[in-house]
Structure 1
Amino acid sequence: MGLRLNQIVLNNIYQIKDTVILFYPFNQENPSQSDMPASHTLKQWNYESQNTREFTMKKIGLLCLLVSLPVFAQSEISGMAHVVDGDTIHVATDHGTIKVRLLGIAAPDNQQSGGDEATAFLEHYAEGEPVHCTLDGTQFQMHEVGICYVAGQDIAAAVIRAGLARDCPAVSDGRYWPIERPEAQKLPLPDYCQSDSARHR
């Protein structure tokens, strides 16, 4: 994503460069403007319409906005899964261990009611298994955030379907809401998961 955005910005800068040259024309053989008649310069300036100049300035403004936005580059990792709790795993890769928080779900901590059950379920499902994760480039409490799969199955969805975790709507955009079990409503939903829609469910 980051490389794609950089390429888009670069391509547009080239286009803007060509347009700006039309605004400031000069003699390629003799860059000095000292001997150019003022009337010729004025004609060159009037060559571009006012609408074209306005469009170019808007384009420059849009590019400045794109450059200022944070770019979260997705990445893929694979390794062996070690379960920490119901929504956190460590992935042992060839380049070291990566801590991953499962995107879009909230399972109780081990010290909370239901936490041991969620951890035990995920251990049975994923502990020691080959796992593949798509990381979204963000972090939560010093953990990478992503969606992880064992044998092609979303492990966060498995915990949700078991009724041992809840959809975290502020993060998931409702990804897991359709499969959340009614009995999971008794589980705590952290403040960071609360969205306007979640509060009215």
Structure 2
Amino acid sequence: MEKFTTLTGVAAPLPIVNVDTDMIIPKQFLKTIKRTGLGASLFYEQRFNEDGSENEDFILNKPAYRNAKILVAGDNFGCGSSREHAPWALQDFGITCVISTSFADIFYNNCFKNGILPIVVSPEELEKLMDDASRGSNATLTVDLEAEEIRGPDGGRIPFKIDAFRRHCLLNGLDDIGLTMQKSEAIQGYEGRMSENRPWV
């Protein structure tokens, strides 16, 4: 997993509440177990018309936001089913930070396991960030995980808090496999002792 330290980029405003995982990545794209390629189908029903052409009105299809790295979204983001494909699709598109006033628990947890930083802010702070994001590609946000703050284009700073263990894992690029591999010597030692003491296993 890539380390997440400081992210500076365009933030796309998505002022929609209760964005569920089926909106993020519709069910017809869940057949794959690969984490790559899903970005093309992110928000598929909003990004594309029935004939397959792009919906010019959707935020991520607008020129200023095609390369957005941050999503500023409405309350209760990531609700609905527990599909891990949702953070996969966001990351594959290039979005590695989502800011909202609240997240569905399973989606929130899945984000950390896949290198995405979900940040909870107050309604007043979200309103300010939505305003910043609405300025387009000329107004970028900086998300500093080590300092736990968001810096706006006008110099404003919004602090946030992340659980210390989750923060450590993101800063060091550690998913569940990475955490396990940190104990590789102890695991190998245990397996060696098991082979000696229980050769029949």
Max radius of gyration: which structure? 1
* Same fold, judged at TM 0.5 (above): no
Q: Which structure ranks higher in relative contact order (CA pairs < 8 Å, sequence separation ≥ 6)?
A: 2
Q: TM-score range by the shorter chain?
A: under 0.3
Structure that is richer in strand per residue? 1
